[in-house]
């Protein structure tokens, strides 16, 4: 069975992020957490998109029937998404376990890689860790979500600076995997919808 991992350096914000995506509004600026020694599992609900297909009446019956069929197909596919992907389990592996991450790479279909944009000393090292991870042949077809977090902090690196420090353009040229990049923070929940959308992707 394929799985979804959440990785990233120590204290980069993995637990806070997943708690916040799991239960929006639970993380505040004074929330603290203990380092994950080992693993945590989070079950994230994947609500179906709120976009609804409405059928408007038209003069032509043929057009109306076509629209009804399209609406029925959309509803059926939405149902499929709901029943197939109603929730997903994400395994966070603590940053202190980085030397052992490779023991968890069998049958991994997705990786959420969390980078703390407020930690200037850690960003480049986070890039090196990501690079060595993605070189693993078991992750050749794994979908990668690069999460730039703690974007609420005034002293964070901006997106482009962080990506430069991660050497992401160079990385993209050398790997097969597709990388999606999302900026977020655990407090305001900005960017969480995009994370849910990414998790919902087949
Ligand atoms: N301002 C702000 N602080 C954050 C955010 N996310 C995490 N933090 C802070 O960063 C600290 C570490 O966050 P964790 O989520 O525990 O980090 P982690 O990546 O799970 O760490 P390990 O489990 O040790 O690998 C927390 O105690 C929070 O104070 C965020 O989005 N904004
Ligand atoms: Mg943790």
pLDDT tens for the chain, 202 residues long, are 569 999 999 999 999 999 999 999 999 889 888 999 999 999 999 987 755 444 333 344 444 444 444 444 444 444 434 445 589 999 999 999 999 999 999 999 999 999 999 999 999 999 999 999 999 999 999 999 999 999 999 999 999 999 999 999 999 998 888 899 999 999 999 999 999 999 998 8
Whole-number Å distance, alpha carbon 2 to ligand 1 midpoint, is: 27
On whether both 29 and 74 belong to a single domain, the answer is no
Q: Which residues contact 63 (CB under 8 A, 6 or more apart)?
A: none
Whole-number Å distance, alpha carbon 36 to ligand 1 midpoint, is: 10
On whether both 71 and 26 belong to a single domain, the answer is no
Strand extents, DSSP E, 77-137: 87-93, 108-116
SS (H, E, C) 121-172: HHHHHHHHHHHHHHCCHHHCCCEEEEEEECCCCCCCCCHHHHHHHHCHHHHH
Name the residue of 25, 33, 149, 190 whose CB sits within 8 Å of the most ligand 1 atoms, as the mutation to test its pocket: 33
On whether both 108 and 193 belong to a single domain, the answer is yes
pTM of this structure? 0.85
Please state the domain count of the chain: 2
On whether both 63 and 152 belong to a single domain, the answer is no
On whether both 79 and 157 belong to a single domain, the answer is no
On whether both 61 and 126 belong to a single domain, the answer is no
- Residue 95 Cα: closest atom of ligand 1: 25
On whether both 79 and 107 belong to a single domain, the answer is no
- Residue 187 Cα: closest atom of ligand 1: 31
Q: Is 14 in the pocket of ligand 1 (CB under 6 A)?
A: yes
From 62, 84, 106, the end of a domain falls on: 84
Whole-number Å distance, alpha carbon 113 to ligand 2 midpoint, is: 12
Residue range(s) defining the domain that contains residue 68: 49-84
Instruction: Please choose, from the candidates 28, 147, 168, 139, the residue with its C-alpha nearest in 3D space to the C-alpha of residue 92.
Output: 147
CB-CB contact of 123 with 160 (8 Å): no
On whether both 59 and 159 belong to a single domain, the answer is no
Please state the φ and ψ torsions of residue 19, each to the nearest 5 degrees.
Answer: -65, -40
Q: What is the pLDDT of residue 13?
A: 97
On whether both 27 and 56 belong to a single domain, the answer is no
Q: What is the pLDDT of residue 29?
A: 86
């Amino acid at each position: 069975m394929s799985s979804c991992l959440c990785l990233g350096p120590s204290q980069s914000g993995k637990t806070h992020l997943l708690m916040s995506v799991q239960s929006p509004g639970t993380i505040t600026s004074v929330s603290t957490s203990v380092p994950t020694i080992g693993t945590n599992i989070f079950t994230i609900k994947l609500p179906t998109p709120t976009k609804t297909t409405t059928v408007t009446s038209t003069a032509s019956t043929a057009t109306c029937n076509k629209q009804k069929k399209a609406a029925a197909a959309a509803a059926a596919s939405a149902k499929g998404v709901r029943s197939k992907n109603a929730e997903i389990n994400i395994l966070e592996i603590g940053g202190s376990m980085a030397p052992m991450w490779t023991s968890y790479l069998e049958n991994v279909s997705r990786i959420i890689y969390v980078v703390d944009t407020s930690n200037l000393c850690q960003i480049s090292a986070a890039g090196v860790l990501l690079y060595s991870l993605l070189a693993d042949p078991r992750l050749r077809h794994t979908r990668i979500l690069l999460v730039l977090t703690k974007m609420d902090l005034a002293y964070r690196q901006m997106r482009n600076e962080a990506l430069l420090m991660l050497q992401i353009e160079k990385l993209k040229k050398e790997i097969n995997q597709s990388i999606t990049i999302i900026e977020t923070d655990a407090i305001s929940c900005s960017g969480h919808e995009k994370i849910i959308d990414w998790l919902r992707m087949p």
